[in-house]
Structure 1
Amino acid sequence: MKELYQEKDRGISQKDSSCSTCGKAIEECPGHFGHVDLHLPVYHWGYFKNVVQIMQCICKSCARLLLKPDVIAKFTLQSRKNANDYLKKKAMLKKVNEMCKKVRVCPHCQSLNGVVKKLAPMKIIHEKFRGAKKDDSARQKYMNQYNSLVQHAPDVSSQLPSNPVELIYPAEVLKLFNSMDPQDVCVLCMDEQYSHPRDLIITRLPVAPNCVRPSVFSDLKKPGSNEDDISNITALIIFLNNLVAHRGDNTRIGNLYQAYEIMQLHVALLINSEISLPPELNLARKSYVGFVQRLKGKQGRFRGNLSGKRVDFSSRTVISPDPNLKIDQVGVPEEVAKTLTYPERVTAHNIELMRQLVLNGPDVHPGAVYLEQKITPGIKKSIRHLYKRKHELSQNLREGDLIERHLMDGDTVLFNRQPSLHKMSIMAHRALVLPWRTFRFNECVCGPYNADFDGDEMNLHLPQTEEARAEARTLMAVSNNLVTPRSGSLIIGATQDFITGSYMLTRKSEFFDKSSACSLLMSISESAHVELPPPAIMKPMQLWTGKQLFSLVMRPSQRCQVRVNLLANKCKDQSCRYKDELCSSDNYVHVRNSELLCGVVDKSIIGAGSRKNIFYTLLKDYGKEEAAEAMWRVSRMSTQYLMMHGFSIGIGDLSPSTSLLAMKEDLLRKGNAKCAEYIDQLEAGQLETSPGCNAEETLEQMILSVLSNIRESAGKGCIEELQRHNSALIMAVSGSKGSTINISQMIACVGQQAISGKRVPDGFTNRSLPHYQ
């Protein structure tokens, strides 16, 4: 037992020693497993249900499947055919199990087989004679085994069960599994070489390396130490195993069985310490932490130490929007940029920059915090403490020195919003150091993060090696994740204000003189050369349409080779007299060679979730860089247009006119009269009932239908009365926010609310809520 705690051939858990197996220190030694050969096999807690299921399928005498040979041959072919289809194999195994449980006599050896059930905590019982009559010959032959016992102890006869039950031990199960026919193993969807049923029984217990169960040495107890739960349970299992192995002739069977049962339970507790035990065992049980508890849950190895962990070089603050940033940029506060550092190697290409960073020091951005010289590796010098020697340190920089500098513009950072539900919840951005105290990014990227700006916080991580930066740029960059893997459609696209501005910009009535057009184009001239196209109207003054200016989002100049072609018919008006390009509502979008010839741009053309989309076409035909650049141009131009044109919403946009109020009152009067008519018909017994409903239910349906029609009619009249420049209507029609139903509810009437298809019931006397009469 002493060797279990102190032996070093299974790895080490202390810094001042080395492993006797691999000779490495604690940082490099992975640990080495040992094992204990159990003298009696035990059940594996994780496979216990599978063992019970297999025992229900096989004969308890000859270990053959309880099926006829031709049925076994049929299932064998089916199993080999579905070798790679998990669902079909699972369904087949369920069918085999159900068929076998109905068989009482083995078709191979004619032995009697009863019901096999599990008994808490980890026992298997076999009710061999369940359902058999008392005068059954096989049952009487079995009960005759107890005759000699009853003769010596007559009192035992009252304790004998009326329905004999056999307890099946793991050793007996292992013997049956070893005797199974290979064809039967195949029918059970297992493999004779790699996943034989005998492998579900534990005969050899692995002993975890020392690094998995480290000893905690205490200064208070000089000779002793506090051992891990895994070590304590393993030690107890070894003790019980030795007790079972060295049983003598004078050993009582009861004591031996008790030791074996406790060993079985502790092997299960070693795997999962939360299994349910009988009350008599549960009271004496200690609170252990098994392997399952170390792996699962929020504090487990996967979620607590691998998928998520506490890290250095990370920051967190509130987010805010900035349409001026490109979609792959993130604005980082200068205070954060001074705290996050990146170790950069001095080379011939950057030595002058590194000297300037050392001169700036840790308090001026961009600056440097630490210096590690090539001649003294592993020793970092704080530039803050050597500030008076900064000129000397700067001049003595050599190639190969390591500078821990501030986060700078263009550095690759990882941006994350929790909860991280899919892979696009963390993406790589290019840093841009800005004043103030919030992270800023383009609103187009809100979709994959599911972010809004009502106080959300996000995390920013700075990779510390060139390999990590290259991997982030290649796999996690925003421009590489424009499309969701779920459906193949865009997940990053224009949102809200960008859609509203683009919709208003591309209407038929929008014209711009030269100064206004140039002001708009200046907003997108930062990253590319922009050419003003010929005006659409020459006399009496030169005017450009909004469609012409929006076309420059896709192709800023003649030298640009991007030529987008797109056709999208969004017209849903059945009364529209003209189709295609002549659509009266301008809902037919035609883009030819990157020129918007007709149609207004709305959410379906530049938003996320669509494939008939300008950005999706750019991504498919010209690559991610062009699509990302076009998104930035849309955000800049639409924002600039809204700043020039103005866009706001007030109570005046949602105030009903006198004619609308009169129409609403007329609708309500007619609706109430119709409902009263239905009620009179019910009281007179003249109401025709609907199929499957009684009179009251029919009345409820008819009233709900009438009141719902009132809302629809009022909403339709409301939308028809609104002017085309109404702000709420513009947002609803363009798809940036809300819908026509929201507008009609705000202006005309909320309408009848339904709960489970019925009107709101009266919870109180003559009223539904306590605060309204």
Structure 2
Amino acid sequence: MVKEQFRETDVAKKISHICFGMKSPEEMRQQAHIQVVSKNLYSQDNHHSPLQYGVLDHRMGTSEKDRPCETCGKNLADCLGHYGYIDLELPCFHVGYFKAVIGILQMICKTCCRILLSSEERKQFLDYLKRPGLTYLQKRGLKKKVSEKCRKKSTCPYCGAFNGTVKKCGLLKIIHEKYKTNKKVVDPIVSSFLQSFETAIEHNKEVESLLGRAQENLTPLMVLNLFKRIPAEDIPLLLMNPEAGKPSDLLLTRLLVPPLCIRPSVVSDLKSGTNEDDLTMKLTEIIFLNDVIKKHRISGAKTQMIMEDWDFLQLQCALYINSELSGIPLNMAPKKWTRGFVQRLKGKQGRFRGNLSGKRVDFSGRTVISPDPNLRIDEVAVPVHVAKILTFPEKVNKANLNFMRKLVRNGPEVHPGANFIQQRHTQMKRFLKYGNREKMAQELKYGDIVERHLINGDIVLFNRQPSLHKLSIMAHIARVKPHRTFRFNECVCTPYNADFDGDEMNLHLPQTEEAKAEALILMGVNGVSYCLACGSVILHFCMSSTLYFSVASESCILQVTENIPCFPVTLWTGKQVFSLILKPSDDCAVKANLRTKGKQYSGRGEDLCVNDSCE
């Protein structure tokens, strides 16, 4: 499948803003096409036919070239895929938002769900939030202040209920130390609990040491009910954007099932059947645990059994998102390591670094670099072997017809030559390795496209990784040379931060005349020093000497080869300062330069160096 050249549209558009947030369960349902309920992947009658309402239902797209999507009817190349959803029997903590959930629980009352701020403090913080143009760091600092004030409050200013410390306890567990206090307690429930505890202590002294360990376990269901009861006017004080989602969206009650195209089934040649993706297998485990919890609730099983199943469901939902969790109990640890969504995104092999920032591209080459002082600073030597593979689509016209015919006759083996021909009114390409090239050359017409080899004078982009600033990729003029390394003038090492101890660099060949012109003008090596090196810049002796001593790391001299108006002082052009700096054998040239300064003022344009040993 041939890639088409990207061309921007003429319509100018401006993005107003970008907002990141959480999807609510209702938005997930609206985005999805089906509800996935079956834990089985394939039908029992036909092992190659995916089961309806299963994880591999083809209404969520297709992963096979010869089978269209059952929702939109498009093939694998055109269908982007469609989502499904799974309704969880019991809510679970989202492993990515777990820290945020604890933060909100520390800021709200666990009885009336109001934020633990007095009326004056609420008004003060709300006034601060209404200021226009608040930066991210200012909002982050404000959230820290609100959290600190809330955590210092032990009783709710609205309902008077006692609020203890909320903290993480084990894997995806939250506890509220509601009964751990030495102060006078106002909350009636806590007071009655402590009174009954005192009665128990009278009968058994060993119970006294357990008072400090008495705590309330905040399950996902309890947290969800608390978050749903948070008043709308308190949500801005939690530093949450109402457009991005509500606090209750931080917990999982519904899971999105991704399209089939990002989790394809791979047919195994060694054994009958298919190898399923990690995400597919994790989704089947979640559906299986969902069904188990549902059956246990209907049959009236013991609470302990349901709680264990709930813990397993919560773990599987966490591993579905991030499979590198720490602190998993041995009895719940998975037997096989899988890749979750986090592992697909992060790291060197993830989507961002592996497929977006550093993806494979066409019309590029990579090899070791070596120095060549005979090249100009704006040139790069490209090996013949690379030049035969990198091609440029040149359109045949009256001016280049004979040259294009010569390239077609040479074919792909001889440089300069051509690899393909595309006729004007067809999309078919003809490979020049086979067929009668002489006949093809004679049949060339205006408007045909010849994919010719890279030749001398082509504009190429040269890049060294890591690309840390804009000078890490610059435009050079190609010079096709023998051998197998990219070569360039060592004066250009500094912007690339390159050395010749085995470094490799990338070369890209622009595919349109517009791209070549843009690269040369905006990214050309000469453009970097053009402002000072052009002939219209005039420098007097003090300026040129200061520039010389600041730029040169070793002893250098300046030579003047052009007659510059020298009354009342001698002048140098920027071009002379840059292009005529010589490297002497010792420091005598600099001393001679300073001794003969008066001689230069005569305006005769003579050499500043008077020592014959300096060349």
TM-score by length of 2: 0.75
1:445 corresponds in structure 2 to 492
1:414 corresponds in structure 2 to 461
1:648 corresponds in structure 2 to 585
Shift of 1:414: 1.8
Report the Cα distance in structure 2 between the residues aligned to 1:286 and 1:158, rounded to whole angstroms.
45
Aligned mate of 1:250, from 300, 309, 314: 300
Alignment of 1:359-398 (within 5 A): 359-373=409-423, 377-381=427-431, 383-386=432-435, 389-398=436-445
Aligned mate of 2:177, from 111, 120, 127: 127
Higher relative contact order (CA 8 A, sep 6+): 2
Q: SS in structure 2 opposite 1:589? A: helix
Shift of 1:473: 4.7
Aligned mate of 2:389, from 299, 317, 339: 339
Shift of 1:130: 1.5
Task: Mark the CA change 1:79 to 1:427 in structure 2 (over 3 Å): closer, same or farther.
Answer: same
Q: SS in structure 2 opposite 1:279? A: coil
User: Any conservation in 2 of the 1:334–1:436 contact (CA below 8 Å)?
Assistant: yes
- Structure 1 gap segments, 5+ residues each: 483-489, 495-552, 556-561, 568-585, 591-598, 608-628, 654-721, 728-773
Task: Mark the CA change 1:433 to 1:203 in structure 2 (over 3 Å): closer, same or farther.
Answer: same
Report the Cα distance in structure 2 between the residues aligned to 1:229 and 1:81, rounded to whole angstroms.
47
Shift of 1:400: 4.3
Write 1 or 2 for the structure with the bigger share of helix.
1
Task: Mark the CA change 1:260 to 1:601 in structure 2 (over 3 Å): closer, same or farther.
Answer: closer
Report the Cα distance in structure 2 between the residues aligned to 1:116 and 1:12, rounded to whole angstroms.
46
Aligned mate of 2:368, from 311, 317, 326: 317
Report the Cα distance in structure 2 between the residues aligned to 1:634 and 1:341, rounded to whole angstroms.
39
2:162 corresponds in structure 1 to 112
1:240 corresponds in structure 2 to 289
User: Any conservation in 1 of the 2:179–2:212 contact (CA below 8 Å)?
Assistant: no
User: Any conservation in 2 of the 1:320–1:438 contact (CA below 8 Å)?
Assistant: no
Report whether the alignment pairs 1:602 with 2:545.
Answer: no
Number of aligned residue pairs: give it. 518
Q: SS in structure 2 opposite 1:6? A: coil
User: Any conservation in 2 of the 1:82–1:88 contact (CA below 8 Å)?
Assistant: no
Q: SS in structure 2 opposite 1:204? A: strand
User: Any conservation in 1 of the 2:55–2:283 contact (CA below 8 Å)?
Assistant: no
Letter in 2 for 1:450: N
1:103 corresponds in structure 2 to 153
Report whether the alignment pairs 1:306 with 2:356.
Answer: yes
Report whether the alignment pairs 1:141 with 2:159.
Answer: no
RMSD of aligned residue pairs (Cα, Å):
3.6
Shift of 1:49: 0.5
Task: Mark the CA change 1:209 to 1:404 in structure 2 (over 3 Å): closer, same or farther.
Answer: same
1:589 corresponds in structure 2 to 543
Task: Mark the CA change 1:416 to 1:211 in structure 2 (over 3 Å): closer, same or farther.
Answer: same
Q: SS in structure 1 opposite 2:438? A: helix
Letter in 1 for 2:480: V
Shift of 1:379: 4.4
Report whether the alignment pairs 1:228 with 2:288.
Answer: no
User: Which one is further off, 471-480 or 170-179?
Assistant: 471-480
Letter in 2 for 1:358: V
Shift of 1:412: 2.6
Task: Mark the CA change 1:162 to 1:454 in structure 2 (over 3 Å): closer, same or farther.
Answer: closer
Report the Cα distance in structure 1 between the residues aligned to 2:326 and 2:341, rounded to whole angstroms.
16
Report the Cα distance in structure 2 between the residues aligned to 1:53 and 1:344, rounded to whole angstroms.
62
**1:646-701, CA deviations, whole angstroms, 9 ceiling, x for partnerless residues?**
x335xxx8xxxxxxxxxxxxxxxxxxxxxxxxxxxxxxxxxxxxxxxxxxxxxxxx
1:76 corresponds in structure 2 to 126
Q: SS in structure 2 opposite 1:405? A: strand
1:742 corresponds in structure 2 to none
User: Any conservation in 2 of the 1:56–1:101 contact (CA below 8 Å)?
Assistant: yes
User: Any conservation in 1 of the 2:377–2:491 contact (CA below 8 Å)?
Assistant: no
1:183 corresponds in structure 2 to 233
Report whether the alignment pairs 1:358 with 2:396.
Answer: no
User: Any conservation in 2 of the 1:244–1:259 contact (CA below 8 Å)?
Assistant: yes
Q: SS in structure 1 opposite 2:68? A: coil
User: Any conservation in 2 of the 1:11–1:30 contact (CA below 8 Å)?
Assistant: yes
User: Any conservation in 2 of the 1:83–1:89 contact (CA below 8 Å)?
Assistant: no
Larger-gyration structure (1/2): 1
Report the Cα distance in structure 1 between the residues aligned to 2:377 and 2:212, rounded to whole angstroms.
82
Task: Mark the CA change 1:312 to 1:263 in structure 2 (over 3 Å): closer, same or farther.
Answer: same
Report whether the alignment pairs 1:637 with 2:585.
Answer: no
Report the Cα distance in structure 1 between the residues aligned to 2:196 and 2:446, rounded to whole angstroms.
92
TM-score by length of 1: 0.61
Letter in 2 for 1:446: C
Letter in 1 for 2:376: L
Q: SS in structure 2 opposite 1:81? A: coil
Report the Cα distance in structure 1 between the residues aligned to 2:91 and 2:346, rounded to whole angstroms.
27
Letter in 2 for 1:291: F
Task: Mark the CA change 1:209 to 1:472 in structure 2 (over 3 Å): closer, same or farther.
Answer: farther
- Structure 2 gap segments, 5+ residues each: 1-38, 42-52, 554-572, 594-615
Task: Mark the CA change 1:133 to 1:84 in structure 2 (over 3 Å): closer, same or farther.
Answer: closer
Report the Cα distance in structure 2 between the residues aligned to 1:159 and 1:19, rounded to whole angstroms.
64
Report the Cα distance in structure 1 between the residues aligned to 2:473 and 2:315, rounded to whole angstroms.
44
1:86 corresponds in structure 2 to 136
**1:358-380, CA deviations, whole angstroms, 9 ceiling, x for partnerless residues?**
12223332211233445764443
Task: Mark the CA change 1:180 to 1:135 in structure 2 (over 3 Å): closer, same or farther.
Answer: closer
Report the Cα distance in structure 2 between the residues aligned to 1:430 and 1:600, rounded to whole angstroms.
32
Identity rate of aligned residues, in percent? 44
Shift of 1:296: 0.6
1:671 corresponds in structure 2 to none
Shift of 1:30: 1.4
User: Which one is further off, 187-196 or 271-280?
Assistant: 187-196
Shift of 1:273: 0.5
Shift of 1:419: 2.5
Report the Cα distance in structure 2 between the residues aligned to 1:344 and 1:724, rounded to whole angstroms.
52
Alignment of 1:149-168 (within 5 A): 162-168=212-218
Letter in 1 for 2:457: G
Report the Cα distance in structure 2 between the residues aligned to 1:59 and 1:455, rounded to whole angstroms.
63
1:757 corresponds in structure 2 to none
Report the Cα distance in structure 1 between the residues aligned to 2:310 and 2:518, rounded to whole angstroms.
54
Task: Mark the CA change 1:604 to 1:392 in structure 2 (over 3 Å): closer, same or farther.
Answer: same
Aligned mate of 2:449, from 402, 411, 421: 402
Task: Mark the CA change 1:100 to 1:114 in structure 2 (over 3 Å): closer, same or farther.
Answer: same
**1:473-515, CA deviations, whole angstroms, 9 ceiling, x for partnerless residues?**
56544456x3xxxxxxx7x999xxxxxxxxxxxxxxxxxxxxx
2:91 corresponds in structure 1 to 41
